[in-house]
Amino acid sequence: MQSNVFTAVLIPLSLAVIMLGLGLSLTLADFKRVIVYPRAVIVGLVCQMLVLPAGCALIAHAFGLGPELAVGLMLLAASPGGATANLFSHLARGDVALNITLTAVNSALTLVTLPLIVNLSLMHFMGEDRAVPMQFSKVLQVFIIVLGPVSIGMLIRSRKPGIAQSLDKPIRLMSAAFLAVVIAAAVYQERAHIGAYFKQVGLAALSFNVLSMAIGYVTPLLFRLPRRQAVAIGMEIGIHNGILAMTIAMSPLLLGNATMAIPPAIYSIVMYFTAAIFGYAVTRRHTDEQTSPEASPSRS
């Protein structure tokens, strides 16, 4: 893909804005909170970093995705939770503090895990001879593009909380606008094949989304974690940072492949509907449990 103003300027800029917004919402306390929720954080991270990539690879094979589309789906599995996971978790009565902690820790670990998973995916799906290894220079680029704005955002939040609060809404609006532009650009660049791609990857993206939320919700319950933490982990794992995956796919500094951006683009649309359904379902179940005769105090 030839470099142009969009891929060379707008894509890195959009990622920087997204990461700046994330930094404005984080504090050092979010990382320290790992000590408060050690079991929940460990369960969430294991699901995110080990279980999901394996499940995603199985889905890619099960649906017979082409190599580039399979790698694009794996980019989602390697990406941390999206910022809107906090909102959905709040609406579904999840543990939002846990969401913030998982986002903070996962975003930091992604600097190592994302290049590793992407490189393994390229070798597995596209063949070792066609793989584009994430050399140190590319890892460094990801580090600068991702961690730089996050650090600046956290610094502003720490030193100038008033400015951070006033920037929060504009940054969120810009992030949403950039997400729409990136999705539109990915679709436009692949417009000749988008119908075929949607047929090929639509059900796979939906299946991966449902699998992500199911793993994120059921696994904590199996480990006897509170329902609120299960809801938080389900939202965190189900709502991936699609724009991060798309920008890595389309940026000429990294993968430079618009086809790989198609699965994240489709997923980014689908996940909001499934998250709303999931949130309604768990909230309804919680309400039913609260109002059931067994939950009511007995009268003597």
Q: Which domain holds residue 10?
A: 5-288
φ, ψ of residue 46 to 5 degrees: the values are -65, -45
The answer as to whether 296 is a domain residue is no
**Three-state secondary structure along 228-254?**
HHHHHHHHHHHCECHHHHHHHHHCCCC
Half-sphere CA count of 177, side-chain side, radius 13 A: 9
Average pLDDT over residues 11-39: 72
The answer as to whether 225 is a domain residue is yes
Q: What pTM did the predictor assign?
A: 0.70
pLDDT at 174: 77
pLDDT at 120: 86
The answer as to whether 294 is a domain residue is no
Domain count, the chain: 1
Average pLDDT over residues 27-33: 70
221 versus 98: the higher-pLDDT residue is: 221
pLDDT at 299: 40
pLDDT at 287: 59
Beta strands in the chain (DSSP E): none
**CATH number of the domain enclosing 87:** 1.20.1530.20
- Which DSSP helix (H) or strand (E) runs through 120? helix 96-126
Of the pLDDT bands very low, low, confident and very high (cuts 50, 70, 90), residue 54 is: very high
Cα angle, residue 196 at apex, residues 192 and 200 outer, rounded to 5°: 145
240 versus 107: the higher-pLDDT residue is: 240
146 versus 197: the higher-pLDDT residue is: 197
The answer as to whether 298 is a domain residue is no
Q: Using one digit for the tens of pLDDT, what is the confidence trace for 6-19?
A: 555 666 676 677 77
Residue 241 neighbours by CB under 8 Å, 6+ apart: 18, 79, 80, 81, 82, 83
Of the pLDDT bands very low, low, confident and very high (cuts 50, 70, 90), residue 58 is: very high
The answer as to whether 33 is a domain residue is yes
The answer as to whether 293 is a domain residue is no
